[in-house]
Chains A and B, each alone.
Chain A
């Protein structure tokens, strides 16, 4: 009769998954419809498609449902799914100027070509509870949309608006735009090896975790850095997705993606070249979904990283390694949760070192705890 390895772990995993499912199903509420999550929690789905790096609002909503609303877990679902998909094509660089806008504001200018457009924003809401939403009837809920559509003025708006920074460029106050013809750095196919290009930095930040980016950008705003940004333009809208046609190679519109884009103007720095006029510097941020905090944080960090890439970073927010290696939610969340796994072997090794060191310093023999002595026996 031979001994068989215990398989306790297998049952434990299965039961843990079951109890997680139970938590979702308990309480007697109606099961969450994926389209309800996608539409009614659109900031949440927007955040998850951005951090997951996969533009699929339906799957993002399913991920949120499966993850019971945990954004890091939901982004992780999208990432894991995405890595199994083939890379079909690479688009050319998109011009945010062609965006079908739902919102655009400028904090730099009162009047901008095309005008300010507040759009959907919670910025000026009084955060007072609307208790009637505790029990919202289906009829009243659907009437909200009908009512709004009914009041809609005739659409005489242009399809797109000029970019505010273009006006500053025309005046010579901003540097020329960087060459967009260079192939973009693909963070899903190439590892970051420092020093990295700005393209790699932008791609990394674009799918970074919102809170991590906010924290590091906030440190810059509070004084660990000196970007002092002014929002030249913040836009939310749909960018046409132009893919090369499989036969002709000509760009064809294959759909559109909701994007938040932010350009910040920062103070000028002394010019390197003699005789050159000083110009403002620019920070750029863009991400999937409607996520203004992320786009603004990214624009600030883009600007602070440019300083760090040009010389010696003085603050963490200017250090490309510090910023880019610590803002990925899926990476950092995974490593954080791994500490919950057993560490018996390494801790055994740690104890051996501590016991050996104590024995050296007290002149006692090594391995100070005999087997027969209970732990509660008070070890010297």
Chain B
């Protein structure tokens, strides 16, 4: 993708050095206290609050001229918000590269998805977070939530899960599933589907979470336990894409994958098809298939 852009007269990375320093210190603190929500002075960005300013500030504080950045929104690089954030990074960080390929990126900023391809130790994944605190569903006061986190008091969260079982025979939390980090703090892993939660556990890469509007930063460092809250007799389950008609898993209509998180698409005729939610991953599979085809034809 394009590498040359005018810098628009702003500092490299838009933020001033003091803001970046504060962000980096907060990130270090977050890494030292896995899952702990570090308050920070979230800066005003020219992107609206709630559109990923928390993630953007982390990305801008981390990025250097040798970095390659990937921006994901809903799994895709081409969705409007991802395009807009990527353009902003290109505009204010001249010299950096952008890519749709998760394998090429050193820094990945994402909303709602973790790439299907496992990430490496030299990569950092920055998640945009709307609600940093998993306790907000049971306790509206931040002051009281802070005490509960400090005391490891997640009783009311457990009660919420239990009540779900009583009412519905199912835990109804779909995305943002509460996950205990390194045996203490429970985090809201940002609105990722349950499908992505196991990727946080004992990962190779560093996961950073930035909530711009709520002014919190937290982290799941590499090789750290990340365990979704579940009862002994109720297993944690990821989203199910089994076709009830055939008993087999739906396949991506583009690349044929049967091992990825799928978007459900409804056609003009009302019929539904499925496609990989991770557009970059799907594209790589298509290209690999196409290259194999070319090799066969050449042979």
**Residues of A bordering B, CB below 8 Å:** 1-3, 5-10, 12-13, 76, 79-80, 82-84, 86, 188-195, 321, 325, 330-331, 333-338, 341-346, 348-353, 356-357, 360-361, 365-377
Whether A2 contacts B287 in the complex (CB less than 8 A), given A361-B168, A361-B169, comes out as yes
B49 touches A334 (CB 8 A): yes
A351, chain B: closest CB distance, angstroms: 7
Whether A8 contacts B143 in the complex (CB less than 8 A), given A367-B240, A371-B273, A372-B271, comes out as no
A205, chain B: closest CB distance, angstroms: 17
In this complex, the member of A9, A337, A360 whose beta carbon has the largest number of chain B beta carbons within 10 angstroms is: A9
Chain B residues numbered 37-53 whose CB sits less than 8 Å from any CB in chain A: 39-46, 48-51, 53
A338 touches B14 (CB 8 A): no
B261 touches A321 (CB 8 A): no
Which of these, A337, A343, A371, contacts B48 with CB under 8 Å?
Answer: A337
In the assembled complex, the Cα of A79 lies from the Cα of B240 at a distance in Å of 44
Whether A352 contacts B240 in the complex (CB less than 8 A), given A13-B83, A344-B277, comes out as yes
Q: Which of B153-161, B170-178, B223-231 contacts A (4 or more CB under 8 A)?
A: B170-178
B16 touches A86 (CB 8 A): yes
A375 touches B100 (CB 8 A): no
In the assembled complex, the Cα of A263 lies from the Cα of B193 at a distance in Å of 51
In the assembled complex, the Cα of A193 lies from the Cα of B191 at a distance in Å of 24
A residues less than 8 Å from B290 (CB atoms): 1-3
B174, chain A: closest CB distance, angstroms: 4
In this complex, the member of A6, A80, A365 whose beta carbon has the largest number of chain B beta carbons within 10 angstroms is: A80
B273 touches A349 (CB 8 A): no
B287, chain A: closest CB distance, angstroms: 4
Whether A9 contacts B44 in the complex (CB less than 8 A), given A84-B11, A345-B175, comes out as no
**Residues of B bordering A, CB below 8 Å:** 10-11, 14-16, 19, 39-46, 48-51, 53, 73-75, 77-84, 87, 100, 112-113, 130, 140-143, 146, 168-176, 191-195, 213, 215-216, 237, 239-245, 250, 261-264, 266, 269-274, 277, 279-280, 283, 286-287, 290-291, 294
Which of these, A341, A366, A376, contacts B240 with CB under 8 Å?
Answer: A366
B83 touches A9 (CB 8 A): yes
In the assembled complex, the Cα of A2 lies from the Cα of B293 at a distance in Å of 11
A366 touches B50 (CB 8 A): no
A356 touches B142 (CB 8 A): no
In this complex, the member of B74, B191, B279, B280 whose beta carbon has the largest number of chain A beta carbons within 10 angstroms is: B74
A365 touches B244 (CB 8 A): yes
B79 touches A9 (CB 8 A): yes
B residues less than 8 Å from A189 (CB atoms): 41
A333, chain B: closest CB distance, angstroms: 7
In the assembled complex, the Cα of A330 lies from the Cα of B280 at a distance in Å of 33
A residues less than 8 Å from B112 (CB atoms): 343, 345-346
Residue on A nearest B263 in the bound complex, by CB: A344
B269 touches A374 (CB 8 A): yes
Whether A9 contacts B78 in the complex (CB less than 8 A), given A1-B294, A357-B168, comes out as yes
B residues less than 8 Å from A367 (CB atoms): 240-244
Residue on A nearest B99 in the bound complex, by CB: A5
B residues less than 8 Å from A194 (CB atoms): 141-143, 146
Whether A191 contacts B269 in the complex (CB less than 8 A), given A3-B290, A338-B130, comes out as no
Which of these, A5, A86, A349, contacts B280 with CB under 8 Å?
Answer: A5
B74 touches A345 (CB 8 A): yes
B44 touches A330 (CB 8 A): yes
A residues less than 8 Å from B273 (CB atoms): 371
Known contacts A346-B174, A348-B264; can you find 14 more A-B pairs with CB under 8 A?
A: A3-B286, A13-B87, A84-B10, A86-B16, A321-B141, A334-B48, A335-B49, A337-B51, A338-B48, A343-B112, A345-B113, A348-B239, A352-B240, A361-B168
In the assembled complex, the Cα of A32 lies from the Cα of B25 at a distance in Å of 45
B143 touches A321 (CB 8 A): yes
Which of these, B77, B143, B192, contacts A5 with CB under 8 Å?
Answer: B77
B191 touches A345 (CB 8 A): yes
Which of these, A1, A3, A365, contacts B283 with CB under 8 Å?
Answer: A3
In the assembled complex, the Cα of A93 lies from the Cα of B185 at a distance in Å of 41
A190 touches B44 (CB 8 A): no
A residues less than 8 Å from B42 (CB atoms): 191
B residues less than 8 Å from A331 (CB atoms): 49-50, 213
A residues less than 8 Å from B80 (CB atoms): 9, 12-13, 341
A51, chain B: closest CB distance, angstroms: 12
B residues less than 8 Å from A360 (CB atoms): 168-170
In the assembled complex, the Cα of A336 lies from the Cα of B48 at a distance in Å of 10
B74 touches A3 (CB 8 A): no
A83 touches B43 (CB 8 A): yes
Which of these, A84, A191, A333, A344, contacts B39 with CB under 8 Å?
Answer: A191
Residue on B nearest A76 in the bound complex, by CB: B48
Whether A5 contacts B41 in the complex (CB less than 8 A), given A352-B174, A371-B243, A371-B245, comes out as no
Whether A341 contacts B43 in the complex (CB less than 8 A), given A353-B170, A374-B271, comes out as no
Residue on B nearest A366 in the bound complex, by CB: B240
Which of these, A80, A342, A361, contacts B46 with CB under 8 Å?
Answer: A80
A345 touches B193 (CB 8 A): yes
A79 touches B48 (CB 8 A): no
